[in-house]
A = this chain, B = another copy of it.
Amino acid sequence: MIPLSRKLLLYVLVDPACPGGRSAVEQAHEAIRGGATAIQLRAKGIPAGKLAGIGSELAVLCRRHGRLFIVNDRLDAALACGADGVHLGTDDLPLEAARRIAPEGFVIGASAHDPGEAVEAERAGADYLGVGAVFPTQTKADVRATGLDGLRAVVLSTRLPCVGIGGITARTAPEVLRCGACGVAVHAAVAGAREVEAAAREFREFLDGKEASHA
Contacts and interface: CB of A to CB of B under 8 A. Distances in A.
Interface of A: 45, 47-50, 52, 73-77, 79-81, 90-94, 97-98, 100-101
Nearest to A52: B93
B45 A45 contact: yes
Contacts of A75: 76
B92 A49 contact: yes
Q: Which of A49, A76, A94 has the most CB of B within 10 A?
A: A76
B91 A48 contact: yes
Given A47-B91, A91-B47, A80 B101 contact: yes
A92 B52 CA distance: 9
Given A48-B73, A76-B98, 11 more contacts: A47-B91, A48-B74, A49-B91, A49-B93, A74-B76, A75-B76, A79-B101, A80-B94, A80-B98, A80-B101, A81-B97
B47 A92 contact: yes
11 contacts: A47-B92, A48-B74, A49-B94, A74-B76, A76-B76, A76-B93, A77-B93, A79-B101, A80-B93, A80-B101, A101-B101
Contacts of A79: 76, 97, 101
Contacts of A74: 48, 74, 76
Contacts of A52: 93-94, 97
9 tightest A-B contacts by CB?
Answer: A80-B97, A47-B91, A75-B76, A76-B76, A48-B93, A79-B101, A48-B92, A49-B91, A80-B93
